[in-house]
Chains A and B, each alone.
Chain A
Amino acid sequence: MTIAEKILADHAGLREVVPGEIINAKVDIALGNDVTAPIAIESFKDLGADAVFDPERVVLVPDHFTPNKDIKSAQQCKVIREFAREQGIQHYFEVGRGGIEHALLPEQGIVVPGDLVVGADSHTCTYGAIGAFSTGVGSTDLAAAMILGELWFKVPASMLFIYYGRRGDFVTGKDYILYTIGLIGVDGARYRAMEFTGEAISTLPMDERFTMSNMAIEAGGKVGIIVPDKVTLDYVKVRAKRPYKVYKSDEGACYVETLEIDVSKLTPLVALPHLPENVRPVEEIGNIPVDQVVIGSCTNGRITDLRQAADILKGKKVHPYVRLIIIPATQEVYKEAMREGLFEVFLEAGAAISTPTCGPCLGGHMGVLAEGERAVATTNRNFVGRMGHPKSEVYLSNPYVAAASAVAGRIAHPREVL
Chain B
Amino acid sequence: MIRGRVWRFGDHVDTDVIIPARYLNSSDPAELGKHCMEDADPQFASKVRPGDIIVAGENFGCGSSREHAPIAIKAAGVVCVVAKSFARIFYRNAFNMGLPIVECPHGVDRIQEGHEIEVDLEQGKVRNLTLGEVYPSAPIPPFMQELLSKGGLLGYVRERMGR
B-contacting residues of A (Cβ < 8 Å)? 22, 35-36, 38-39, 42-43, 46-49, 64-65, 69-70, 72-73, 76, 119-122, 124, 136-141, 143-144, 147-148, 152, 186-187, 190-191, 217, 220, 222, 275, 362-364, 368, 381, 383-386, 388, 390
Contact = CB atoms under 8 A, between A and B. Distances in A.
Given A187-B12, A381-B16, A148 B25 contact: no
Contacts of B63: 122, 217, 381, 383
A49 B16 contact: no
Interface stretch (B46-54, B83-91, B116-124, B131-139): B83-91
A6 B149 CA distance: 31
B68 to A, nearest CB: 8
B12 A70 contact: no
B20 A187 contact: no
A119 B161 CA distance: 22
B62 A64 contact: no
B65 A138 contact: yes
B3 interface: no
A138 B59 contact: no
Contacts of B20: 363, 385, 390
Closest 6 pairs (CB-CB, A-B): A138-B93, A72-B25, A362-B21, A140-B96, A138-B67, A187-B59
30 contacts: A35-B66, A43-B154, A64-B24, A65-B24, A70-B25, A76-B27, A121-B64, A121-B65, A122-B89, A136-B65, A136-B89, A138-B66, A138-B89, A140-B154, A141-B93, A144-B154, A147-B157, A148-B157, A152-B143, A186-B62, A187-B58, A220-B59, A220-B62, A363-B20, A368-B22, A383-B14, A383-B63, A384-B14, A386-B16, A388-B22
Nearest to A38: B27
Interface string B122-153: 00000000000000000001010000000011
Interface string B85-121: 1011100110011000000000000000000000000
B163 A48 contact: yes
A198 B110 CA distance: 44
A121 B64 CA distance: 7
B154 A46 contact: yes
Contacts of A76: 25, 27
B65 A383 contact: no
B31 to A, nearest CB: 9
Interface string B30-69: 0000000011101000000000000000110011111110
B64 A122 contact: yes
Given A46-B154, A47-B161, 20 more contacts: A35-B68, A47-B163, A49-B161, A137-B89, A138-B67, A138-B97, A140-B67, A141-B93, A141-B153, A143-B154, A187-B12, A187-B62, A187-B87, A190-B59, A275-B12, A385-B16, A385-B20, A388-B22, A390-B39, A390-B42
A219 to B, nearest CB: 10
B17 interface: yes
A314 to B, nearest CB: 34
A122 B38 CA distance: 21
A22 B143 contact: yes
Which of A36, A148, A187 gathers most chain B CB within 10 Å? Answer: A187
B56 to A, nearest CB: 13
Nearest to A49: B161
Contacts of A362: 16, 21, 24, 64
B22 A36 contact: no
Contacts of B27: 38-39, 42, 76
Nearest to B69: A138
A189 to B, nearest CB: 10
Contacts of A73: 25
Which of A48, A73, A148, A385 gathers most chain B CB within 10 Å? Answer: A385
Contacts of A190: 59, 85, 87-88
B39 A385 contact: yes
B59 A36 contact: no
B16 A65 contact: no
Given A186-B12, A222-B88, A36 B25 contact: no
B96 A187 contact: no
A366 to B, nearest CB: 13
A383 B17 contact: yes
Contacts of B22: 363-364, 368, 385, 388
Contacts of B143: 22, 152
